[in-house]
């Protein structure tokens, strides 16, 4: 396998497993199209401290496994993606507040080096990966 192919495969896997966005950053239109939410004002500090406020930026995989009663409570325009709260192993995400609560960092312990940053109560967020491209297979034994 060429290095370019290996790199492409790792990037694809990382995009599927760890690229996340704050809840409400994207909305699903009535026709099923997903677009950036122009009225997104950010998460409050209380919301930003919960794993269920962050969604995987990929088509949902675990949504059909949720109980029907739980799915009925969701806002279909906003809560159409998988939350990181359900990720395995439990504890693979860490939420950290910096600058007196004015910055939230959500870090992956499976892909060490991936960080989502969000400024609560603003529409500013983004993510970055600075790492070696190695999956942390030891995490279940470390938790």
Residue 63 backbone class (left: φ over 0; alpha: ψ -120 to 50; beta: rest): alpha
CB contact set of 24 (below 8 Å; sequence gap of 6+) = 37, 40, 43, 78
Helix runs in 1-143, H state only: 3-17, 45-48, 68-72, 139-142
In the chain, where the domains are located: 3-142
pTM: 0.89
Question: Is there a contact between 9 and 86 (Cβ–Cβ < 8 Å)?
Answer: no
How does pLDDT run along the chain (143 residues), one tens digit per residue?
799 999 999 999 999 999 999 999 999 999 989 999 999 999 999 999 999 999 999 988 877 777 777 777 788 889 899 999 989 899 999 999 998 889 999 999 999 999 999 999 999 999 999 999 899 999 888 87
Three-state DSSP state, 129: strand
């Amino acid at each position: 396998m060429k290095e370019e192919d290996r790199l492409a495969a790792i990037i694809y896997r990382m995009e599927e497993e760890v690229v996340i966005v704050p809840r409400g950053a994207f909305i699903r239109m009535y026709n099923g199209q997903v677009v950036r939410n122009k009225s997104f004002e950010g998460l409050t500090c209380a919301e930003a401290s919960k794993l269920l406020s962050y969604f995987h930026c990929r088509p949902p995989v675990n949504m059909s496994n949720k109980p029907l009663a739980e799915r009925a409570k969701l806002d279909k325009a906003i809560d159409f993606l998988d939350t990181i709260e359900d990720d395995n192993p439990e504890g693979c995400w860490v939420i950290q507040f910096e600058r007196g609560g004015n910055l939230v960092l959500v870090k992956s312990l499976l892909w060490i080096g991936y960080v989502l940053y969000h400024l609560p109560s603003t529409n500013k967020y983004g993510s970055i990966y600075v790492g070696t491209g190695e999956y942390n297979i030891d995490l279940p034994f470390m938790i």
